[in-house]
Amino acid sequence: MAPRGAQYGCVDMIDDRRRELGSFLRARRERVSPRDAGIAVNGRRRTPGLRREEVAQQAGIGITWYTWLEQGRATGVSDQVLHAVARVLQMTDAERHHMLMLADRAPAVSHLPPMNLRPEHTAVIEQLLPFPAAVQTDGYEIVASNRAYRFLFSDLDAYAPEDRNCAWLMFTDPTWRGSLVDESLVLPDIAARLRAHSAEHRDDRRGDLLIERLLRASADFRACWEDYEVADERPRLRRYASPGAGRLTTHFQSLWIDPGRGTRIIVMSPADERTADRLRRFDALVSAAPAWTARPDVLEAVAG
Protein backbone atom coordinates (compact mmCIF):
# COMPACT_ATOMS: atom_id res chain seq x y z
CA MET A 1 0.00 0.00 0.00
CA ALA A 2 1.36 3.38 -0.94
CA PRO A 3 1.79 5.61 2.14
CA ARG A 4 -0.47 8.59 2.45
CA GLY A 5 0.91 11.49 4.43
CA ALA A 6 1.39 15.20 4.46
CA GLN A 7 4.15 14.91 1.87
CA TYR A 8 1.62 13.66 -0.65
CA GLY A 9 -0.46 16.18 -2.56
CA CYS A 10 -4.14 15.88 -3.30
CA VAL A 11 -3.49 14.72 -6.88
CA ASP A 12 -1.11 11.99 -5.68
CA MET A 13 -3.69 10.73 -3.17
CA ILE A 14 -6.40 10.61 -5.85
CA ASP A 15 -4.06 8.71 -8.18
CA ASP A 16 -3.27 6.25 -5.37
CA ARG A 17 -6.98 5.59 -4.81
CA ARG A 18 -7.57 5.09 -8.55
CA ARG A 19 -4.75 2.57 -8.71
CA GLU A 20 -6.08 0.80 -5.63
CA LEU A 21 -9.56 0.76 -7.20
CA GLY A 22 -8.09 -0.87 -10.30
CA SER A 23 -6.29 -3.51 -8.25
CA PHE A 24 -9.45 -4.18 -6.24
CA LEU A 25 -11.61 -4.61 -9.37
CA ARG A 26 -9.05 -6.91 -10.93
CA ALA A 27 -8.92 -9.07 -7.79
CA ARG A 28 -12.73 -9.28 -7.73
CA ARG A 29 -12.89 -10.12 -11.46
CA GLU A 30 -10.44 -12.99 -11.04
CA ARG A 31 -12.65 -14.51 -8.33
CA VAL A 32 -15.89 -14.67 -10.36
CA SER A 33 -16.16 -17.77 -12.53
CA PRO A 34 -17.85 -17.61 -15.95
CA ARG A 35 -20.38 -20.16 -14.73
CA ASP A 36 -21.34 -17.96 -11.75
CA ALA A 37 -21.77 -15.05 -14.16
CA GLY A 38 -23.96 -17.10 -16.50
CA ILE A 39 -21.36 -17.21 -19.30
CA ALA A 40 -20.98 -20.37 -21.38
CA VAL A 41 -17.37 -21.55 -21.71
CA ASN A 42 -16.00 -23.66 -24.52
CA GLY A 43 -12.52 -25.11 -24.13
CA ARG A 44 -9.77 -24.09 -21.74
CA ARG A 45 -9.24 -20.55 -20.46
CA ARG A 46 -5.96 -18.99 -19.39
CA THR A 47 -7.60 -16.07 -17.62
CA PRO A 48 -8.66 -16.78 -14.01
CA GLY A 49 -12.23 -15.67 -13.48
CA LEU A 50 -13.82 -13.33 -16.01
CA ARG A 51 -12.17 -11.51 -18.88
CA ARG A 52 -12.31 -7.71 -18.99
CA GLU A 53 -14.50 -7.76 -22.09
CA GLU A 54 -16.96 -10.09 -20.35
CA VAL A 55 -17.30 -7.72 -17.41
CA ALA A 56 -17.74 -4.76 -19.73
CA GLN A 57 -20.35 -6.53 -21.84
CA GLN A 58 -22.41 -7.71 -18.88
CA ALA A 59 -22.18 -4.30 -17.21
CA GLY A 60 -23.23 -2.52 -20.40
CA ILE A 61 -20.12 -0.35 -20.67
CA GLY A 62 -17.29 -0.09 -23.20
CA ILE A 63 -14.28 -2.37 -22.91
CA THR A 64 -11.94 0.63 -23.15
CA TRP A 65 -13.70 2.36 -20.27
CA TYR A 66 -13.57 -0.74 -18.08
CA THR A 67 -9.89 -1.28 -18.96
CA TRP A 68 -9.18 2.28 -17.87
CA LEU A 69 -10.95 1.56 -14.57
CA GLU A 70 -8.62 -1.36 -13.85
CA GLN A 71 -5.60 0.68 -14.95
CA GLY A 72 -6.48 3.55 -12.61
CA ARG A 73 -6.93 5.94 -15.56
CA ALA A 74 -10.71 6.52 -15.53
CA THR A 75 -12.03 9.83 -14.17
CA GLY A 76 -15.55 10.98 -13.43
CA VAL A 77 -16.94 7.47 -13.06
CA SER A 78 -20.69 7.55 -12.43
CA ASP A 79 -22.54 5.67 -9.70
CA GLN A 80 -24.50 3.87 -12.41
CA VAL A 81 -21.33 2.42 -13.96
CA LEU A 82 -19.91 1.41 -10.59
CA HIS A 83 -23.10 -0.31 -9.47
CA ALA A 84 -23.27 -2.17 -12.78
CA VAL A 85 -19.70 -3.40 -12.33
CA ALA A 86 -20.45 -4.37 -8.71
CA ARG A 87 -23.43 -6.42 -9.91
CA VAL A 88 -21.37 -8.32 -12.49
CA LEU A 89 -18.55 -8.94 -10.03
CA GLN A 90 -21.09 -10.12 -7.41
CA MET A 91 -19.78 -7.81 -4.71
CA THR A 92 -20.98 -8.00 -1.14
CA ASP A 93 -22.34 -4.84 0.52
CA ALA A 94 -18.94 -4.31 2.18
CA GLU A 95 -17.11 -4.70 -1.15
CA ARG A 96 -19.51 -2.35 -2.93
CA HIS A 97 -19.04 0.29 -0.24
CA HIS A 98 -15.26 -0.11 -0.45
CA MET A 99 -15.37 0.35 -4.23
CA LEU A 100 -17.42 3.55 -3.86
CA MET A 101 -14.95 4.86 -1.27
CA LEU A 102 -12.00 4.27 -3.60
CA ALA A 103 -13.87 5.95 -6.46
CA ASP A 104 -14.64 9.00 -4.27
CA ARG A 105 -18.37 8.30 -4.64
CA ALA A 106 -18.89 7.99 -0.88
CA PRO A 107 -17.71 10.40 1.82
CA ALA A 108 -14.71 9.47 3.92
CA VAL A 109 -14.96 9.48 7.70
CA SER A 110 -13.94 12.88 9.01
CA HIS A 111 -10.44 12.98 10.45
CA LEU A 112 -11.04 13.47 14.15
CA PRO A 113 -8.64 13.53 17.10
CA PRO A 114 -8.15 10.28 19.01
CA MET A 115 -10.90 9.38 21.43
CA ASN A 116 -10.86 10.28 25.09
CA LEU A 117 -11.56 7.40 27.47
CA ARG A 118 -14.42 8.39 29.75
CA PRO A 119 -15.67 6.99 33.08
CA GLU A 120 -18.89 5.78 31.44
CA HIS A 121 -16.84 3.66 29.03
CA THR A 122 -14.96 1.91 31.82
CA ALA A 123 -18.20 1.46 33.77
CA VAL A 124 -19.67 -0.49 30.86
CA ILE A 125 -16.73 -2.88 30.41
CA GLU A 126 -16.68 -3.45 34.19
CA GLN A 127 -20.39 -4.30 34.21
CA LEU A 128 -19.87 -6.76 31.34
CA LEU A 129 -17.75 -9.02 33.56
CA PRO A 130 -17.27 -11.99 33.42
CA PHE A 131 -17.45 -11.49 29.65
CA PRO A 132 -14.18 -10.20 28.12
CA ALA A 133 -14.64 -6.63 26.89
CA ALA A 134 -12.43 -3.74 25.80
CA VAL A 135 -12.63 -0.21 24.44
CA GLN A 136 -11.11 -0.15 20.97
CA THR A 137 -10.44 2.48 18.32
CA ASP A 138 -11.06 2.25 14.58
CA GLY A 139 -7.42 1.20 14.21
CA TYR A 140 -7.88 -1.78 16.59
CA GLU A 141 -5.94 -0.05 19.37
CA ILE A 142 -6.98 -1.43 22.76
CA VAL A 143 -7.52 1.66 24.88
CA ALA A 144 -8.89 -0.09 27.98
CA SER A 145 -10.00 -3.58 28.94
CA ASN A 146 -11.74 -5.37 31.77
CA ARG A 147 -9.80 -8.01 33.66
CA ALA A 148 -11.34 -10.94 31.74
CA TYR A 149 -10.08 -9.49 28.45
CA ARG A 150 -6.77 -8.35 29.94
CA PHE A 151 -5.77 -11.90 30.97
CA LEU A 152 -7.64 -13.95 28.36
CA PHE A 153 -4.58 -14.69 26.21
CA SER A 154 -1.75 -13.17 28.29
CA ASP A 155 -1.36 -10.10 30.48
CA LEU A 156 -2.21 -7.27 28.09
CA ASP A 157 -0.72 -4.70 30.47
CA ALA A 158 2.71 -6.33 30.03
CA TYR A 159 2.86 -5.11 26.42
CA ALA A 160 4.15 -1.72 25.35
CA PRO A 161 1.27 0.72 24.72
CA GLU A 162 2.04 0.88 20.98
CA ASP A 163 1.72 -2.93 20.77
CA ARG A 164 -1.72 -3.11 22.41
CA ASN A 165 -3.50 -3.54 19.12
CA CYS A 166 -5.67 -6.54 18.21
CA ALA A 167 -4.46 -6.74 14.61
CA TRP A 168 -0.80 -6.40 15.60
CA LEU A 169 -1.00 -8.99 18.37
CA MET A 170 -2.97 -11.55 16.35
CA PHE A 171 -0.47 -11.45 13.48
CA THR A 172 2.80 -11.07 15.39
CA ASP A 173 2.46 -12.38 18.95
CA PRO A 174 2.74 -16.20 19.28
CA THR A 175 0.52 -16.37 22.37
CA TRP A 176 -2.32 -14.30 20.94
CA ARG A 177 -2.10 -15.98 17.56
CA GLY A 178 -1.93 -19.40 19.21
CA SER A 179 -5.28 -18.72 20.85
CA LEU A 180 -7.05 -18.75 17.48
CA VAL A 181 -8.78 -22.06 16.79
CA ASP A 182 -9.68 -20.95 13.26
CA GLU A 183 -6.56 -19.00 12.32
CA SER A 184 -7.09 -19.47 8.57
CA LEU A 185 -10.45 -17.67 8.87
CA VAL A 186 -9.66 -15.01 11.46
CA LEU A 187 -6.40 -13.59 10.12
CA PRO A 188 -7.70 -12.91 6.57
CA ASP A 189 -10.83 -11.39 8.14
CA ILE A 190 -8.73 -8.96 10.21
CA ALA A 191 -6.81 -7.89 7.10
CA ALA A 192 -10.06 -7.52 5.15
CA ARG A 193 -11.55 -5.25 7.82
CA LEU A 194 -8.35 -3.18 7.92
CA ARG A 195 -8.54 -2.72 4.15
CA ALA A 196 -12.10 -1.43 4.46
CA HIS A 197 -11.02 0.96 7.21
CA SER A 198 -8.09 2.25 5.15
CA ALA A 199 -10.49 3.60 2.52
CA GLU A 200 -13.02 5.00 4.98
CA HIS A 201 -10.36 6.76 7.08
CA ARG A 202 -8.13 7.71 4.16
CA ASP A 203 -6.94 10.95 5.78
CA ASP A 204 -5.94 9.31 9.07
CA ARG A 205 -2.22 8.54 9.12
CA ARG A 206 -2.54 6.25 12.17
CA GLY A 207 -4.18 3.51 10.12
CA ASP A 208 -1.54 3.76 7.41
CA LEU A 209 1.24 3.42 9.99
CA LEU A 210 -0.32 0.25 11.42
CA ILE A 211 -0.65 -1.33 7.97
CA GLU A 212 2.90 -0.38 7.01
CA ARG A 213 4.18 -1.84 10.28
CA LEU A 214 2.28 -5.10 9.71
CA LEU A 215 3.50 -5.34 6.12
CA ARG A 216 7.09 -5.14 7.37
CA ALA A 217 6.64 -7.55 10.28
CA SER A 218 4.37 -10.32 9.00
CA ALA A 219 4.59 -12.34 5.78
CA ASP A 220 1.15 -13.74 6.56
CA PHE A 221 -0.30 -10.24 6.76
CA ARG A 222 1.33 -9.36 3.44
CA ALA A 223 -0.28 -12.41 1.82
CA CYS A 224 -3.71 -11.54 3.25
CA TRP A 225 -3.34 -7.89 2.24
CA GLU A 226 -2.46 -8.77 -1.33
CA ASP A 227 -5.69 -10.79 -1.64
CA TYR A 228 -7.66 -7.50 -1.66
CA GLU A 229 -10.47 -8.90 0.47
CA VAL A 230 -12.88 -6.49 2.19
CA ALA A 231 -15.13 -7.15 5.18
CA ASP A 232 -17.43 -5.19 7.47
CA GLU A 233 -17.80 -5.14 11.26
CA ARG A 234 -20.83 -7.39 11.70
CA PRO A 235 -20.72 -9.86 14.65
CA ARG A 236 -18.66 -13.00 14.22
CA LEU A 237 -18.65 -16.42 15.87
CA ARG A 238 -15.14 -16.91 17.23
CA ARG A 239 -13.47 -19.91 18.83
CA TYR A 240 -10.49 -19.45 21.11
CA ALA A 241 -8.11 -21.63 23.09
CA SER A 242 -7.34 -19.42 26.08
CA PRO A 243 -4.33 -20.47 28.20
CA GLY A 244 -6.30 -19.62 31.36
CA ALA A 245 -9.95 -20.15 30.45
CA GLY A 246 -9.73 -23.10 28.05
CA ARG A 247 -11.71 -23.61 24.83
CA LEU A 248 -14.29 -20.89 24.24
CA THR A 249 -16.95 -20.29 21.61
CA THR A 250 -18.08 -16.66 21.65
CA HIS A 251 -20.08 -14.10 19.77
CA PHE A 252 -17.53 -11.38 18.99
CA GLN A 253 -19.38 -8.10 18.49
CA SER A 254 -18.98 -4.33 18.61
CA LEU A 255 -21.07 -1.94 20.70
CA TRP A 256 -20.55 1.45 19.09
CA ILE A 257 -19.58 4.43 21.22
CA ASP A 258 -18.78 6.93 18.46
CA PRO A 259 -19.32 5.61 14.91
CA GLY A 260 -17.77 8.77 13.47
CA ARG A 261 -14.45 7.90 15.07
CA GLY A 262 -14.97 4.15 14.79
CA THR A 263 -14.72 3.86 18.57
CA ARG A 264 -16.43 0.83 20.05
CA ILE A 265 -16.65 -1.53 22.96
CA ILE A 266 -15.81 -5.04 21.81
CA VAL A 267 -17.33 -7.86 23.82
CA MET A 268 -17.04 -11.65 23.68
CA SER A 269 -20.35 -13.08 24.86
CA PRO A 270 -20.66 -16.85 25.31
CA ALA A 271 -22.24 -18.83 22.50
CA ASP A 272 -22.96 -21.83 24.74
CA GLU A 273 -23.33 -22.65 28.43
CA ARG A 274 -19.94 -24.37 28.64
CA THR A 275 -18.23 -21.17 27.51
CA ALA A 276 -20.31 -19.11 29.95
CA ASP A 277 -19.28 -21.39 32.82
CA ARG A 278 -15.61 -21.24 31.84
CA LEU A 279 -15.69 -17.44 31.66
CA ARG A 280 -17.29 -17.25 35.11
CA ARG A 281 -14.62 -19.52 36.57
CA PHE A 282 -11.85 -17.63 34.78
CA ASP A 283 -13.04 -14.28 36.12
CA ALA A 284 -13.03 -15.73 39.62
CA LEU A 285 -9.39 -16.78 39.13
CA VAL A 286 -8.31 -13.24 38.22
CA SER A 287 -10.71 -11.42 40.56
CA ALA A 288 -7.84 -9.98 42.64
CA ALA A 289 -6.89 -7.76 39.68
CA PRO A 290 -8.60 -4.40 39.11
CA ALA A 291 -11.92 -4.64 37.27
CA TRP A 292 -10.42 -2.65 34.38
CA THR A 293 -7.14 -1.13 33.26
CA ALA A 294 -6.24 1.34 30.53
CA ARG A 295 -3.25 2.36 28.49
CA PRO A 296 -1.06 4.72 30.53
CA ASP A 297 -1.39 7.51 27.98
CA VAL A 298 -5.19 7.70 28.40
CA LEU A 299 -5.47 7.24 32.17
CA GLU A 300 -5.26 11.00 32.76
CA ALA A 301 -8.42 11.55 30.75
CA VAL A 302 -10.33 9.18 33.03
CA ALA A 303 -8.95 10.78 36.17
CA GLY A 304 -9.97 14.18 34.84
- pLDDT of 246 reads 98
3-state secondary structure 91-159: CCHHHHHHHHHHCCCCCCCCCCCCCCCCHHHHHHHHHCCCCCEEEECCCCEEEEEEHHHHCCCCCHHHC
Q: Judge whether residue 5 has pLDDT over 50.
A: no
Q: Judge whether residue 97 has pLDDT over 50.
A: yes
Instruction: Supply the CATH classification number for the domain 10-102.
Output: 1.10.260.40
Q: Judge whether residue 8 has pLDDT over 60.
A: no
- pLDDT of 127 reads 97
Instruction: Tell which wins on pLDDT, 271 or 76.
Output: 271
Confidence band for 109, pLDDT divided at 50, 70 and 90: low
- pLDDT of 10 reads 52
- pLDDT of 203 reads 65
Sign of CA dihedral 192, 196, 199, 201: negative
Q: Judge whether residue 156 has pLDDT over 90.
A: yes
Fold of 119-303: Beta-Lactamase (3.30.450)
Mean pLDDT of 239-250: 98
Looking at the chain, the whole-number percentage of residues with pLDDT higher than 90 is 64
Q: Judge whether residue 88 has pLDDT over 90.
A: yes
Least confident of 109-113, 230-234, 238-242, 251-255: 109-113
Residues 6+ apart with CB under 8 A from 179: 152, 153, 240, 241, 242, 243
Least confident of 38-52, 141-155, 167-181, 241-255: 38-52
- pLDDT of 77 reads 87
Looking at the chain, the whole-number percentage of residues with pLDDT higher than 70 is 88
Mean pLDDT of 40-53: 83
Mean pLDDT of 29-56: 87
- pLDDT of 204 reads 67
The residues spanned by each domain of the chain are 10-102, 119-303
Mean pLDDT of 120-128: 94
Q: How far apart are CA 277 and CA 223, in angstroms?
A: 37
Each residue's pLDDT tens digit, 278-296: 999 999 999 999 999 999 8
Mean pLDDT of 58-79: 90
